[in-house]
Chains A and B, each alone.
Chain A
Amino acid sequence: MVSTQAQKSIFYRLHIDPLLLLGIFSLMGLSLTVLYSVGGYEMLIKQLIRLGIALGAMIILAQISPEMYQRWTPAIFIVGVLLLVAVLVVGHIGKGAQRWLDLGFTKFQPSEIMKLITPLMVAYYISQYTLPPRLKQVFIALLIVITPTILIAKQPDLGTSILIASSGLFVLFLSGISWRYITIAVAAVVGFLPILWFYLMHEYQRGRVLTLINPEADPLGTGYHIIQSKIAIGSGGLWGKGWLEGTQSQLEFLPERHTDFIFSVFSEEFGFIGILLLLTVYLFIIGRGLWIANQAQDAFTRLVAGSITLTFFVYVFVNIGMVSGLLPVVGVPLPLISYGGTSIVTLLGGFGVLMSINTHKRFNIK
């Protein structure tokens, strides 16, 4: 890679990646369009404010150099884990919701920090050794991933703990652990499933899984959401019913239209063509992310950039999969499109780290 004019451009000095930013702005535009259709002007304004805050966080995180991230990662990770424990303890005493830590002036969700810091921590640890990592290092890395995953699953917040576990595992896979280990791990998980089903799950959880597999069996109960969602998507057809014209969403047949099920609204109003456009934007962002990862100059930044990008894809895949009836409904938002939530700050924060990695290069290889 040669130091070119582009790298000295205004974007480089501001530590912003223009291509990523383009992708992000495209998604935000689509998001605001759909949200207006669902919730009107009021919702649009509220989301604009949130997006502003999230963009601010992204720009700030992009200014911090990768060396700084590397230096502070262990400390922040340990504090994050302690906060998770604190949330469990406080929540236990208060017998209330266990995700939030009330700091007096604001409420704060430590699991959001963990979404970012967990892959950083695994990368920090793994990159100290030569790659691919040896078995012992793999085990310690797994321990780093499992600790926050279990603490968050206990809250209980299944969606977030899945995202955190996968972000940590991506680092491991990217670090080049041998396919043999991967095969063994997959086999172990598959072997564990029957134990989970027969011994560890409650009756109502099993019931939920069964309706996931066959939602039509319970059309007025849990299956209702997924059936209405599929009708919304399917009736959109090739070109969609048009903006503000989606009867499923406008007549309020769809649940959670502005959050988890916003993809259904989008599909109903903009059809198959709209979906292809949306997926293209996502693919563009993911491609750019992986490109940045490959251009990174050391193992730590490579692994971090790769993991952030891949986790972003997990959001997309799980959300679209669940609203179109391929996957269980686990409560994962469609990234940068769904309304509100603290998750938008975390997502853009991740892109901030990506931008930092791409714009803080110490030396030029070749």
Chain B
Amino acid sequence: MVKQRISIRNHSAESTLFMRRTLVFFIAILFAIGMLISNLYYLQISSFQSYQTRSNDNRISVQTVIPNRGLIYDRNGIILAENRPVYSLQVIVSKTKNLKENIEQLKELLALTESEISHFNNTKRQTRSFKEIVIRDNLSPKEVAVFTVNQHRFQGFSIQANLKRFYPFGDLFTHVLGYIAKINSKDLQQIEQRGDSASYRGTKYIGKLGIEKYYEELLHGEPGLRQVEVDSWGKVIRTLDFTPPVPGKDLKLNIDIKLQLKAQQLLGDYRGSIIVMNAKTGGILTLISNPSYDPNLFVQGISRKQYQKLLQSKDRPLINRATQGRYPPASTIKPQMALLALDSKVITESTVIYDPGWWIVPGSNRRFRDWKHWGHGKVNVSRAIEESCDTFFYDTAYKVGIDRISPFMEEFGFGKYSGLDIGEETKAIMPSREWKKARFRAPWYDGDTISVGIGQGYWTVTPIQLTKATAILARRGEIIEPNVLHSIISVGGSFAAAHEPQKPIQLHDEHYWDIALQAMLGVTSKRSGTAHRAFANTSYSAGGKSGTAQVVNMKEDEKYDASKMKERHRDNAMFVAFAPFKSPEIVATVVLENAGGGSSNAAPMIRAMFDEYFDNQAATSDIKPLGF
């Protein structure tokens, strides 16, 4: 209760004070209402004539004309994303005379199904009666004709022609193009923050993923205005003035549909990804992540059931494996490790170590196995890369130390965004002392470095990072930035991606590059090279490196036997390569999840991609997109 100090409290004085204050406020209120009234008097009485005229002029209504979204082409001019006309049946409930009866009639006329009717009824409940509701999308030309003939019986119903985004190749380009879908409240907020509300007046769709999202501003365009005269019912009588919309820009991608199709065919049922990139420009020729899904589902508005199915699929089709898949790089980074060892003078070109099939951390009895359990014998750096000797790199990694490995590998783009122009990407992990401390609150151990030496342990990379790193290696330190967009068609030329020019990687001796690159040539060409079988009899010479990443950690002396392992626990197969050897034009990465050895499974796929690039000059005219 109140702690009233009755003794010193003067109730009547307080009451009087309150009354005075109330009076002040009451006068203020009268004054404020007077202000409102005088303003309203000004509007309604003094300026009545002018506002009446303007109100009548409001018979002239300004309508927004949605701009057509820019089209997307591959490098050969094949259309990958287009706008197709679709007809939809709409109704404005407040303008109908006998809605129930009409719906019954539509059942007969257009074979309206029960589920369409219940969907309509649901939408009706959530929609204001003066807003249009779509009853059916995608009317066939015949249905349009049937309805138009009977139009007079259906007051308030109308057929609207709209353009709808269509991806003619379905799931082939989903992880590059992304898709557009209905604008939601979150998108609206972002549009408002960008100050773009005026451009999006009337627009219903927006890029949600991939190129469609990344280049939304280019693709969207600017709306036009149409001044129309409306009758007292709001119906358009005639168009008075028309400012055409500025359509979105058409984009040409670096993607080559022939290679993309080949990659999809090669991947088959594998979970994994293939990337092929121009080694000089960084232009992405192929980027595919398998399995994929049909982006057209999202344009139409995906059903909850379908979406749950995609979301819960064990194969994770929604993940873009090429940019979001994190894998241990395994032996694919041995050439870079060799460069670092040479550059930091830990080894020389002629350093030879003996590999008995294992390696022991000095001063301990922790044993690291080589994949070849009887050992490679005497190996130098070149043989170590060609035959992918683990022991050699255990030793060099131990001597180089993590403090030199992390910064060097970061120069190749590991642990950083590749900057690819589709938004979805992960940095993966380039481990370091600081990283481990922040992540696990634990110090870095020597054993951690040994695993990193062969691309295992904490180290993870994405396929796009591997591709970039391989390109940098093939170009002898020149920093290559991957990009999907080739050019804006109306602008012409090639699109200058907004990458700052970067300082190339400098080594103490240019010859080190030769050592690493020659060894990669050995991988594909020497009889002892791990991938010589896959690259036999090519019309070009290629450098490459295999990788077989453990998915499950094995005990020290356990042997790997694919046939006995559960499928999801099998090794990931990887291969990186570039060609031609003398002056590299393209680089490629293949990652296959749970497929076993890199040389035996992934290398043949790169070979096939390179063959397609160098040898197949077939025209693109026989490529058939999806039907409607």
Q: Which residues from chain A sit less than 8 Å from chain B, CB to CB?
A: 39-40, 42, 67, 70-71, 127-132, 170, 173-176, 203-204, 207, 220-222, 228, 230-238, 247-248, 250-253, 267, 271-272, 275-276, 279, 282-283, 286-287, 290, 293-294, 298-300, 302-303, 306, 310, 313, 317, 320-321, 324-326
Contacts and interface: CB of A to CB of B under 8 A. Distances in A.
B19 A294 contact: yes
A39, A174, A234, A287: which has the most chain B beta carbons within 10 Å?
A: A234
B93 to A, nearest CB: 9
A317 B36 contact: yes
A324 B36 contact: yes
A290 B25 CA distance: 10
A271 B55 CA distance: 14
Contact of A204 (B52, B55, B195): B195
B25 A204 contact: no
Nearest to B131: A252
B45, B48, B55, B62: which has the most chain A beta carbons within 10 Å?
A: B55
A130 B18 contact: no
A253 B43 contact: no
A204 B21 CA distance: 40
B193 A204 contact: yes
13 contacts: A39-B128, A176-B14, A176-B17, A231-B55, A234-B43, A234-B48, A235-B51, A238-B45, A253-B61, A279-B37, A290-B25, A294-B22, A320-B36
B514 to A, nearest CB: 51
Contacts of A221: 197-198
B51 A293 contact: no
B440 interface: no
A324 B48 CA distance: 14
B18 A176 contact: yes
Contacts of A286: 29
B44 A234 contact: yes
Interface residues of B, number: 54
Interface of B: 1-5, 8-10, 14-15, 17-19, 21-22, 25-26, 29, 32-33, 35-37, 39-41, 43-45, 47-48, 50-52, 54-55, 58-59, 61-62, 94, 128-130, 192-193, 195, 197-198, 201, 225, 230, 232, 234
B189 to A, nearest CB: 10
Given A173-B21, A326-B36, A251 B58 contact: yes
B55 A248 contact: yes
Contacts of A234: 43-44, 47-48, 50-52, 54-55
A233 B43 contact: yes
B2 A247 contact: no
A180 B59 CA distance: 55
B44 A237 contact: yes
Given A252-B234, A253-B58, A283-B33, A174 B22 contact: yes
B17 A40 contact: no
Contacts of B50: 234
Given A233-B44, A299-B14, A313 B29 contact: yes
A174 B21 contact: yes
Contacts of B8: 130
Contacts of A251: 58-59, 61, 230, 232, 234
A220 B25 CA distance: 39
Given A130-B14, A174-B22, A317-B36, 7 more contacts: A222-B197, A230-B51, A267-B40, A282-B33, A310-B25, A313-B29, A321-B36
Contacts of A324: 36, 39-40, 43
A231 B40 contact: no
Contact of B54 (A207, A231, A325): A231
B55 A132 contact: no
A247 B36 contact: no
Contact of B58 (A71, A231, A306, A313): A231
A128 B36 CA distance: 38
A40 B129 CA distance: 8
B18 A237 contact: no
B36 A279 contact: yes
A244 B22 CA distance: 40
A128 B3 contact: yes
Contacts of B36: 279, 317, 320-321, 324, 326
Nearest to B3: A128
A220 B63 CA distance: 10
**Lowest 6 CB-CB distances: which A-B pairs, in order?**
A234-B51, A235-B55, A234-B43, A176-B17, A272-B44, A235-B51
A220 B29 contact: no
B190 to A, nearest CB: 12
B43 A230 contact: yes
A271 B58 contact: no
Nearest to B18: A302
Given A235-B55, A290-B25, A131 B14 contact: yes
A299 B14 CA distance: 8
